[in-house]
Structure 1
């Protein structure tokens, strides 16, 4: 599945962006008001050059006792920015986000212009229903029987175990 095929991609509100010279204080106000966990720092032509997350605020602002009113976003932003394209494979990026421990992925067009952002939460909403569906498909393909048989067998085992436990407790 491609990133652009996720309903979250087309339904997401506009990406919160700031220029690098803007103050951390301004960004924090807007992020707090809109309940955003990150803001993408862009060049004047809307190319992403960094990202500021709640973790950056904690590690590079608060921990270093910087003044948010005089500190520019460029001074605390993460510059090792990973960006994707809307046609990229969603599961590939979910794997990379998990392995590299980042939660926000700016999406750019073919010219490198910011068009959206996806969070790890957006991707995870995809994985659970898909994984359960694939588990059912794999079960049917592997055993060539209806998975409801496994449910019946599981219930039978549960009844036997419960009855055995009840007998032990009564002794």
Structure 2
């Protein structure tokens, strides 16, 4: 498999996709207190808000809780996820290109990406960190190949530069010994 094959990999084709833990999901009617307790227990930074059939309607992050609940002085036990969730979210399909989403997340500055199947049901949540760790070996391989190609393409230039440097060192030695 070449670097370009790795760079065009679908999200579901990554070995890590199958081993990602199930996303933490709640309905809109759940209280923020319930969601935060589950987030704390599992060490998650967000919950995905879904319909009964698993289709995604929004996400609630730690930042949403801080801004829309704590800062607003609301009660977590009586405030529902529907009141604090982010509704306009980006959702990836399992068949989408991995690197495309890494670029989108970086450019649009969001860190969590729900991944859904063909019916729109939640399958996983990828973070920006997941994408970077999954593509890091591929990016390193590509950088190595580009460096190798650049050196080969500019071989004559490297010979001239190396020759000039060798001549300069030789001259310093000869002049210094006089």
TM-score range, shorter chain: 0.7 to 0.9
Which residue of 1 is the match for residue 20 of structure 2? Answer: 12
Secondary structure of the equivalent of 1:45? coil
Confirm or deny that 1:26 pairs with 2:38. no
TM (norm. structure 2) is 0.78
Q: Residue 120 of structure 2 is aligned with which of 108, 112, 125?
A: 112
Deviations 1:31-84 (A, max 9, x none): 001000111000111100000011101111111111000000000000011111
Confirm or deny that 1:63 pairs with 2:92. no
CA distance in 2, matches of 1:135, 1:55: 35
Q: Unaligned stretches of 5+ in structure 2?
A: 1-8, 159-178
CA distance in 2, matches of 1:5, 1:59: 36
Query: What is the RMSD computed on CA atoms of the aligned residues?
Result: 1.7
Describe how 1:47-58 pairs up with structure 2 within 5 A: 47-58=55-66
TM (norm. structure 1) is 0.81
Secondary structure of the equivalent of 1:121? helix
Aligned-residue offset at 1:130: 1.9
